[in-house]
Structure 1
Amino acid sequence: MQSITDFKQLFLSDTPMIDVRAPIEFIKGAFPSSINAPLMNDDEREAVGTCYKEHGSDAALELGHQLVFGDIKTQRLQQWKNFINEHPDGIFYCFRGGLRSHITQQWLNEVGIDRPYVEGGYKAMRTYLLEQLQQRASESRFLVLSGKTGSGKTEVINDWPHSIDLEGLANHRGSAFGKTFVPQPAQINFENAWSVAWLKRIHVSDSPVLIEDESRLIGRIVILPEYLEATKLASNILLETPYEERIARIRRDYFMYAFEHYQKSNPDTSYDLLDEFIREAVLRIKKRLGGDRFTLINSMLSSAIIALKSQNQWSEFDDIINILLSEYYDPIYEYQYQQKSEKTIFKGTHQEIIQWLATQ
C-alpha cells in the first residue's frame, strides 16, 4: 500500500488532495489544496459508526460495503477518477489513514489507478501544521507591521512578497466594519492556511516574515494565543499615514465598498442596507463609544444617507469617520502602541517601509 509521510513537501507543492471523509468532517476542517469526494456520506458514516460501537469492526465493514455498492460505488469512484485525470499527481486521505484510505486505494487499483494515500491522514497533517505554526510563533522570526486604523497596512503587506496577510486568509478586515461579504473560513481552515503560507515563506528565505498587527479576533476567527504572546517581543515597524488619507481610505474600503456590493446585489434597497451595515457595526462598539457618541453617530448617519441618496455626496460620512478615529480608534491605538513602542525599529510611509525592507 503506497503512502506518503512527507507533509512538508505536500504543502509546499500544493499537492492536490482528495478528502474521502464525510462532508460533516470536511466542513469542520480541511486543507487549502483539498476537495471533498467522500467514500461515505454523513448518514452512511453515522450508521457505520453506530454499528462499529455495537457490533465491532467486521460488522461495520460489512455494513459499509452494503451501503456503498452498485451505482453509488460507481458514482463515487468516478469522482475520484475524474480528479486523478485532472490532477495526475493527486493523492487522498481519510481521518487517520486507516480503513477508508485503504478501501479508496483498493477501488482505484481495481480500475488501473495507482495513487498513494497520506499516512496518518487528516489528523497527522493537522497536527503537523499546528505544530509548525506554534514553532514559528515561538521562534519570533517575524516583524509586526503596526499603524493606526486606515493607515493602509494591508496594502504594505500585499506589496511586500515576504509577508502573510492574516486578514486576507480570514476574509475579514479586522474591525467592527470589516465584513467583506465573503464567508469566513472555519477556524481550523484559517490556521491550516496560515501555517502553509508561513511554511512557504520560510522555505524561500529565513529572513523575518512581515505580518500585520492584529488583535485577538479577526471577525470570528481567533488568533493563535502563542502568536499574540510572541508579538509582544517581536520587532515592530510603524506605518505613518496622513490623517486625511486615512479618512479617505476608510470611506473607500469600508463604506463605499459595502455600498457597491449592495448596489450590485440589492440595488432597490442598497441605501437601506448601507445604513443597516453601518448601524450594526457601530452597535458592536457601543459600549466603548459611550452613549452620547453612539447617539450622535447614528443621528449623523441618517443625514449622511439622505445626502448620499439625493446628491451622491459622501462628505458627511467623512465626518462620522472623523469621530470614530479621533474619539475611539486612535486613543485605543495610542494606548496599545505605548506598550510596544520600544520595540519599534523603523517608522515611515508605505514606500519608505518597502524600501527599508528591501535593504534588510
Structure 2
Amino acid sequence: KLATGQPAQIDFENRLAINLLKKRAAGIEQFVVEDESRLVGSCNVPLELHQAMQGCPVVWLEDSFEHRVERILADYVVNLCAEFISVKGEELGFGLFADRLLQSLNNIHKRLGGERHQRLLALMQTALEEQQRSGAVELHRGWIEGLLGEYYDPMYAYQREHKAARIEFAGNQFEVSGYLSERSSRR
C-alpha cells in the first residue's frame, strides 16, 4: 500500500495490459506472478488473467520466519513510513502512516478474532508510539511476528495444501531463481 493511494480499477487494468504487451513485444513469453489472491490491494486482477493463473504450475517460494519478519519490517514499517514522510512531511506523514498500519490491521479484525486483534493492536500502538518518540522500529517485530505466526502462516499452509498438485518446485529465493532460469532456458 502506497502513500499516494491506489489506482482506480480501470487504471490498474490499463497499466497491467500495457506492461504485459511491452513484455511480449520484447520477446518475453513467460511471467512469474504472485498467486495469493485476486485482489492487489483494493484492485482486482482481471478475471480472465486470474482464471488463467489458476491453471498454471506453481513455484513455491520458501523463506525463514526471521527473514520474513525483517522483510515486512523493512517494507511496511521503515520504507512505507519514509514514503509517507517524503510525500506529506514529517508530522502529517507519520500520522498517516500510523493510520494506514492501524487500518490494515483493523481490516482483518473479523478474521483475526477479537482477542487476537486486540493483542496485536496493542503491540502495534506501542510500537508506533515508540517509533514516533525515538525513531526506533524494533518493537514492530512483536506484532509482525504475531501476525505471521498466528494468521498468515496457517493461511499459507492451507493454500500450499490446496495447491499441492500444481506445485512443480519449492525452494528458497536462490533455489527458485535458479529453477526459473533453468526452466526458461529449456523453452
* TM-score, structure 2 normalization: 0.85
Q: 1:192 and 1:291, CA in 2 relative to 1: closer, same or farther beyond 3 A?
A: same
Q: Which amino acid aligns with 2:76?
A: Y
Q: 1:341 to 1:309 in 2, by over 3 A?
A: same
The counterpart of 2:145, out of the listed 315, 322, 325, is 322
Deviation, 1:319, is 0.7
Of the three residues 20, 43, 49, the one matched with 1:221 is 43
Gaps of 5+ in 1: 1-178
> Secondary structure of 1:209's partner?
coil
Q: Which residue of 1 aligns with 2:102?
A: 279
| 1:211 paired to 2:60 | no
CA change 1:308–1:186 in 2 (3 A) is closer
Distance 2:99 2:16 in 1: 32
Q: Residues 305 and 208 of structure 1: is their aligned pair in 2 closer, same or farther, counting only changes over 3 Å? A: closer
1:338 matched to which residue of 2? 161
1:201 aligns with 2:23: yes
1:351 counterpart = 2:178:
no
Q: Deviations over 1:29-50 (max 9, x none)?
A: xxxxxxxxxxxxxxxxxxxxxx
2:121 is matched with 298
User: Does the CA contact (< 8 Å) of 2:3 and 2:97 recur in 1?
Assistant: no
What runs of 5+ residues in structure 2 fail to find an aligned partner? none
Contact 1:271 1:305 in 2 (8 A): no
- Structure 1 stretches of at least 4 aligned residues deviating more than 4 Å after TM superposition: none
Taking a change above 3 Å as real, the CA distance of residues 227 and 269 of structure 1, as seen in their structure-2 partners, is closer
Distance 1:263 1:218 in 2: 23
Shift in CA distance, 336/300, structure 1 to aligned 2, threshold 3 Å: same
Aligned partners of 1:326, 1:280: CA distance in 2, in Å?
20
Give the alignment's Cα RMSD to 1 decimal. 2.1
Q: Which residue pairs with 1:236 in the alignment? A: 58
Report the Cα distance in structure 2 between the residues aligned to 1:262 and 1:203, rounded to whole angstroms. Answer: 35
Contact 1:239 1:349 (8 Å CA) reproduced: yes
Could you tell me which residue of structure 1 aligns to residue 70 of structure 2? 248
Distance 1:198 1:228 in 2: 14
Preserved contact between residue 77 and residue 137 of structure 2 (Cα < 8 Å): no
- TM-score by length of structure 1 reads 0.47
Q: Whole-Å Cα distance in 1 between the matches of residues 28 and 131 of structure 2?
A: 50
CA–CA separation in structure 2 for the residues paired with 1:306 and 1:241 = 30
Q: Is the 8 A contact 1:275 1:301 kept in 2?
A: no
Q: Does the Cα contact within 8 Å between 1:232 and 1:340 map onto a contact in 2? A: no
Q: Distance in 2 between matches of 1:206 and 1:258?
A: 31
Give % identity: 29
Structure index of larger Rg? 1
Q: Secondary structure at the match of 1:315?
A: coil
Letter paired with 2:7 = P
Secondary structure of 1:308's match?
helix
CA offsets 1:257-300 (integer angstroms, 9 cap, x no match): 23213433231345443332221111111010110011111211
How many residues are aligned here? 182
Cα 1:230–1:326 shift into 2, 3 Å: same
Q: Give the distance between the partners of 1:277 and 1:271, measured in 2 at CA.
A: 10
